[in-house]
Structure formats: structure tokens, C-alpha cells
Structure 1
């Protein structure tokens, strides 16, 4: 079953298609309905929960009168307002990150480039715990454990009937940094190797020795979906995030990802290198 987040994106995509079919600009639609331009943008990108009254007003503006089509849109609207499993972790999940978790849960492909961290989908509980303990927000131990549980729950997507293909390019510094100490880091690296051997997971290491590269300034994720047109680029900051959907933005990040992949070790060499690093850390710990 599709998540509410993906259903909102599907609904938003259909509403955008209808608006463009009528020849209306987003600002004109917003002005006619006394919406803000931002509201139309968030509706069409699936970043907000839709009210039935808003959907009905948009459909009327776009000239949708067929009863069957109207019922289909209203049904999709109602399904998109249902709670996803991650809402049970609302106390441990920032509002700005909920959209990402919803998208991730239904993505058919995730491509990630990380500069400092192991991607959340790959983190062990001990690694995640060590990260959360250094959070500047000063969380209690119970809050930390809730966030760890959420992070591990996200990884259930690997065991769904149609798991996503996940391709991660990791800066070498991600694997060199001893998060939680040598033992925790060794276990984390071995976990990466296990994921790559069990699931449709590709991992490449970007060596520090290559010098400058295609994305020096930021990490990013590119999410693709089987039943929803278009892709989404996710860029995260400390207290907020960006969801980029313009074709030019997508193309820019896809080109950067391609060039990063060309500069990185091959997947086979990356796994061999990680095995050496894990063995080295384990020996050092003993």
C-alpha cells in the first residue's frame, strides 16, 4: 500500500497536470482561489496534507465535472490524509523530516551522497545512538532510544516485497571517522558489507586522494518512485530541509552523482577496502 506521502505527491502531480491543461499559471490559480502561491506549490509537490474543500475548489477551477473523476480525486484525497507508521514517532521526528521518511518508505530507488554520515538506512543502532548523543538539542536517554528505534524501523523497507534499489556514495571521511569508537565503527562497516551482499544495495567509496570533486559543499539524496512521475532531491540542514523538484535541479544533482560515481572506487573495490578498514579497526581495538 502506498504511503500517505506518496499519495499526496500523486494527487499533487495530477492537480498540476490539470492546471497546466487549462493554461493557468500557479499564481493565477492561487489568486482566483485566494490561496497563496506557496500553498499551490506545496499542494502540487505533495508537501502538505490536502483538505477536501481545497481539492474540490481546485477541481472546479480546472473544469473537472465528471462525477467518476471527482470521486476518484476525493478518494485519493482521503487516503492521502491517513497516518503513516512514522507518525507514531512524532515526538522523535521533526516535522520537516516526516515528508522524507514518507517518501523513502515508498521509493523505488534511492541514490545518496554523504560527506560526514553513514546514511540513516544503513546505520546500526550503536552508530545511530552515538550520533544522537552528540546532538546540540540535548536529548534525554529515552528520547535518544526513541530516535534509534525509528531509524531501525526505517530499514524495514529492505524486507518489503518490492525493496528499493539503494546506491550510496560515501566520502572516505565517513568511514574513517571513529563514531562511537573503533568497535562501533567496525561493526558499522561490517553491516554495510552485509547489506551490499544481501540486498539491492550498491556502495562506493569516494577516496580523499582524488582531491576536489563534483559535490564539495553538500550531501544530497535523489528519490525515484515507481508510480509517481518525477524525482525529488532531498538536501538536509541542521533544523530544516529542501525538497527540489524542478527539472533543472534534478538534472544538476543527477550529473553530480554520475561524476561522483566515476571518481569513486568501484563497488567491488569499495567492499574490499571496507573489509580491510573493518579488520584494521577490529585489530586496533583488541
Structure 2
């Protein structure tokens, strides 16, 4: 979800923030690239209908090696293994380059992913993380991608990709709408607890009609039992004494053995995204969200404000 998604969660490649986070030096080596690599490999394999043993045989590696790659627990990742897997699994060129890029960044410290560095710009790394989430906790300064209406999403995407044809813009909008099934599906939808800065309601995106539709949509979504939407009003000031910028904490459900993947904080800025999984970093962002939440409006007052703002935009149409 945006921090995920001001312009997209991962698609925002050219909007600059005045501050760019420094690359951390004190965190433990990040497992995020390896876990993301594993998710994509597993998804590709499942699409072919082949078992781990069958694929491992085709690339002349042991099943245990492939199992560790898919689980994101491989200590050593060989690029030729990734190339062989992509060939066998029918990955396209963009996906192959992206997975090789993830493999090369599999042992870095808390991971700073610069758009278009080792991984192609058109490959959204965050989506894999989001799709595996059981809960997303965030603070946002634009409507998150998971909550966007087609009109709102199209306006932002066109601003990010002004040279692309309408067919490609339509494809990107459809992809974003597809992502929203994560929180609207009937079976075990992900939980979302988002706090929106009041500027989200006041900043015009597109037109008054688009804004009215978007704010009504937010209010309607907030009635679902798995979704909490609150607004941080201007009168609350700066509850932390400093600006955090948008962020999303991603939590995961336990696997079949009851083990949890480490939670990840996703912080997107103008040129890339930071993935933090150190316990200290995650705890600080959780505390920040709790502090902001204490001065944000409650769920019902926030819903009322969203609907009131939507009516105001409708009068401007």
C-alpha cells in the first residue's frame, strides 16, 4: 500500500523528496531481496504446474537447493542458477533481469533499492511483499494504491509516465485494481490500519469529481471489518516533533510450521525505496504509528470527515 503508492507502490520513480534516507550501516544483513526472489520463483514454478523436484532436475540441481531458493534461505545464490530457472520457467526478459538483480542484492544490509539500478524500472519489487502480507500498518500522504479508485490511480500514473500510450496506462491501472483483491477478497483478506494526513483530503488529484469518488470510496472501505482508516487532522500539529514521511509496516502470517517471516518497514521516496527489517527499526516505526494514532481522529469521525469532504467536492463539479 503505498507508502506505497503515492504514484504507485514502487511505480513512483520520479517524484523527489527533499530528504533521501541515508543508507544504514547498523542493521543486520537484509533477507528481503532473497525472500522476494523466492516468492517470484515459487510463483513462476506454480504457474507451470511443475513440482520442485521436476524443476530441480531440469536445471541439474538438487531439490533442496531450489527449496531454499524459494524459501529465501539460500546462503549462496548463483546467477547461472537463476538464469537457468528463468529459462525453464518461461520468465520474460524483464522478470529475468529483475530476479538476477534481486539475487545480486541478496546479502546487503537493510536494503536500499534504487529504481533502475540492478532491477528494471518496470519491475515492481514491492508488490511481491504486499501480496504476501497478512497486515499492513501505515501512515500516508496520498491515497494508498490499495484504496485508489481507477480515476485517482490513472491521474497519478499519467503524471509519472507522461510519454506512455493510453493502452499502457490502462494496463497499469488494471494491475493496481487487481492488487486491491488483497483487502477485498472474501477469504482471509489482509488487515489494513492506515492513517491519512488531512492533506490527502485537501490536495486535488485530477478533478473534483475524481476526488469526490475517491473520498467516498475510502469511507465505504473503512466500514469493512479488516480495514481501519483514520485521519490525522491539521490541528494535531506534528505529534512526533518531526516528519516521518509515508511508511508501511508489512506483517506476515505464520507458515505451515508456525514460523513468521520478519516484519518489514517499507519507506518509498523519490528515487527508490528502503526496506528495513531490523527489530529496532520496525519497533520505532510501530511506536511512531501508535503516537500518530493517539492524536488522529477515530474511525467514525474520520469516516464522517471523508464523506463531508466528498460532498464539498461534489458541489464544485
Answer whether TM exceeds 0.5 for this pair: yes
Runs of 4+ in 1 over 6 A off after TM superposition: 79-83
- Higher Rg of the two aligned structures: 1
Is the 2:246–2:267 Cα contact (8 Å) retained in structure 1? yes
Q: How does 1:19-34 map to 2 (within 5 A)?
A: none
Identify if the C-alpha distance between structure 1 residues 252 and 78 changes in structure 2 by more than 3 Å, giving closer, same or farther: closer
Q: CA deviation at 1:284?
A: 2.4
Query: 268, 292, 295: which one pairs with 1:236?
Result: 268
Which blocks of at least 5 consecutive residues in structure 2 are unaligned? 1-28, 42-61, 73-81, 96-114, 255-259
Are residues 126 and 199 of structure 1, via their aligned partners in 2, closer, same or farther at CA, if it must alter by over 3 Å? Answer: farther
The equivalent of 1:102 in structure 2 is 128
Aligned to 1:252: 284
What residue in structure 1 maps to residue 14 of structure 2?
none
TM-score, reference length from structure 1: 0.69
Q: Is the alpha carbon distance of 1:104 and 1:132 closer, same or farther for their aligned partners in structure 2, counting shifts above 3 Å?
A: same
Distance 2:130 2:36 in 1: 14
RMSD of Structure 2 on Structure 1 (CA): 3.1
Structure 1 segment 155-194 matched on structure 2, within 5 A: 155-157=180-182, 158-159=184-185, 161-194=187-220
**Structure with higher RCO (Cα < 8 A, 6+ apart):** 2
TM-score, normalised relative to structure 2: 0.63
Q: Residue 220 of structure 1 corresponds to which residue in structure 2?
A: 247
Distance in 2, Cα, partners of 1:270 & 1:129 = 25
Residues 44, 124 of structure 1: alpha-carbon distance in 2 compared, 3 angstrom cutoff: closer
Q: Structure 1 residues 43, 190: CA separation in 2 closer, same or farther (over 3 Å shift)?
A: closer
Residue 76 of structure 1, CA deviation = 4.8
Deviations along 1:223-250, one digit per CA (max 9) or x if unpaired, are: 0001233210000122311110001100
Q: Deviations over 1:175-217 (max 9, x none)?
A: 1112111100000011111111235110000001122222614
Distance of aligned partners of 1:43 and 1:242 in 2 relative to their CA distance in 1, 3 Å threshold: closer
Paired residues of 1:42 and 1:48 also in contact (CA < 8 A)? no
3-state SS of paired residue (2:250): strand
Return the offset for 1:42: 4.7
Q: Any unmatched runs of 5+ in structure 1?
A: 1-39, 52-69
CA distance in 2, matches of 1:102, 1:43: 10
Partners of 1:230 and 1:270 lie apart in 2 by 31
